[in-house]
Amino acid sequence: MVAISFTPLYGVQSTERSCCYLLEVDDIGILLDCGWTDDFDVALLEPLAKVIDKVDLVLISHPDLAHMGALPYAMGTLGLKAPVYVTLPVYRMGEIVLYEAYQARTKDDLEFNLFTLDHVDQVLETFIQLKFSQKLKLSGEGEGIYITPHAAGHLIGGSIWSIAKETDEIIYAVDYNHRAEHVLSKTVLDTFTRPTLLITGSMSLDKQQPKMRDRDEQLKDEIVHVLRRGGDVLIPCDSAGRVLEVLHVLDQYWIKLKLKDPIALLHTMSFYTPKAAQAMLEWCSERISKNFDIGKPNPFNFTHVNLIHNLDELDRLPSPKVILATSTSLNHGFGKDLLMKMAPLSKNGLVFVSTPVPGTVAATIHPGTIVKLKVSRNVPLEGAELLAYEAKERRRLIDEAELKAKEIEEAALEDMMMTIAEYESDDEGQPPTNAPGAQGPPTDKAAPMQLRGSFKVGFGQFATAKFPMFFTMDTKCEWDEYGEIIRVDEFKDVHQAKARLRKAKAASSSSKEDVDMGNGDDEDDDVNGLAAADRRPMKTVHSSQHIFIQCTVQFVDFDGVADGRAIKNCLDNVKPRKLILVHGTPETTTELQEYVQTTIEQCEAVYTPHANECIDIESDTTVYKLSLKESLYSSAFFQKVRLVYASCDTYWMEYT
Query: Residues of the chain with pLDDT > 70: what percent?
Result: 79
Is a pLDDT exceeding 80 seen at residue 468? no
pLDDT exceeds 90 at position 100: yes
Kindly state whether residues 159 and 194 are assigned to the same domain: yes
Domain co-membership, 92 together with 200: yes
Please give the tally of structural domains in the chain: 3
State whether 115 and 204 are in the same domain: yes
Angle, helices 117-125/88-108, rounded to nearest 10 degrees: 170
> Are residues 316 and 187 located together in one domain of the fold?
no
Dihedral in degrees, nearest 10, Cα atoms 253, 259, 264, 269? 50
- 352 and 274 together in one domain: yes
Do 303 and 392 have their domain in common? no
176 CB-near residues (< 8 Å, 6+ apart): 152, 153, 154, 158, 160, 187, 189, 561, 562, 570
Does residue 465 or residue 513 have the better pLDDT? 465
Residues 88 and 222 in one domain: no
CA distance linking residue 545 with residue 337, whole number of Å: 12
How far is residue 157's CA from residue 174's CA, in Å, rounded to a whole number? 14
Please write down the HEC assignment for all residues of 326-360: CCCCCCCCHHHHHHHHHCCCCCCEEEECCCCCCCC
Q: How far apart are CA 236 and CA 324, in angstroms?
A: 6
Has residue 89 been placed in a domain? yes
Q: Is residue 60 scored above 60 in pLDDT?
A: yes
Residue 511 within any structural domain of the chain: no
Whether 440 shows a pLDDT value over 50: the answer reads no
**Is there a domain that residue 313 lies in?**
yes
- Would 250 be classed as within a structural domain? yes
User: Higher-confidence residue: 296 or 181?
Assistant: 181
| Mean pLDDT value across the chain | 84
| CATH value at residue 191 | 3.60.15.10
Within a domain: 434: no
pLDDT of residue 166: 87
Q: Report in angstroms the alpha-carbon separations of 541 from 40, 104, 109, 254, 392.
A: 19, 16, 8, 42, 20
Whole-number pLDDT of residue 621: 59
Between 504 and 182, the higher pLDDT residue: 182
pLDDT in tens, 244-277: 999 999 999 999 999 999 999 999 999 999 999 9
| pLDDT over 70 at 465, yes or no | no
| Residues 202 and 265 both lie in one domain | no
For residue 97, name the pLDDT band (cuts at 50, 70, 90). very high
Same domain, yes or no: 301 and 346:
yes
pLDDT: is 451 or 592 the higher one?
A: 592
Does 31 map to a domain?
A: yes
CA 433 → CA 317, 340, 421, 436, 441, distances in Å?
A: 86, 89, 21, 8, 10
Give yes or no for residue 531 having a pLDDT over 80.
Answer: no
| 359 located within any domain | yes
pLDDT, tens digit, 9 for 90 and up, residues 585-639 = 999 999 999 999 999 999 999 999 999 999 998 766 555 566 767 777 777 777 7
Model pLDDT, residue 443: 43
Number of Cα atoms under 13 Å in the Cβ half of residue 485: 7
Q: Which domain holds residue 100?
A: 3-208+559-615
Among 311, 315, 372, 324, residue whose Cα is nearest residue 352: 324
Residue 469 counted as domain residue: no
What does the pLDDT read at residue 650? 52
Q: Are 249 and 218 in contact (CB under 8 A)?
A: no
Run of H or E including 124: helix 117-125
Section 391-415 average pLDDT? 86
Q: pLDDT digit string (tens) for 233-252? A: 999 999 999 999 999 999 99
Q: Report the length, in residues, of the chain.
A: 656
> Looking at this protein, which amino acid is placed at residue 550?
Q
For the cut 50, the answer to whether the pLDDT of residue 8 exceeds it is yes
For the chain, how far is it from start to end, CA to CA, in angstroms? 25
| Residues 330 and 195 both lie in one domain | no
CATH number of the domain where residue 363 is located? 3.40.50.10890
Q: Mark whether 196 and 250 lie in a shared domain.
A: no
Q: 120 and 49 in one domain?
A: yes
Which of 122-136, 215-229, 279-293, 341-355 has the weakest average pLDDT? Answer: 279-293
According to DSSP, residue 205 is labeled T
By mean pLDDT, which of 376-380, 488-492, 568-572 is the weakest?
488-492
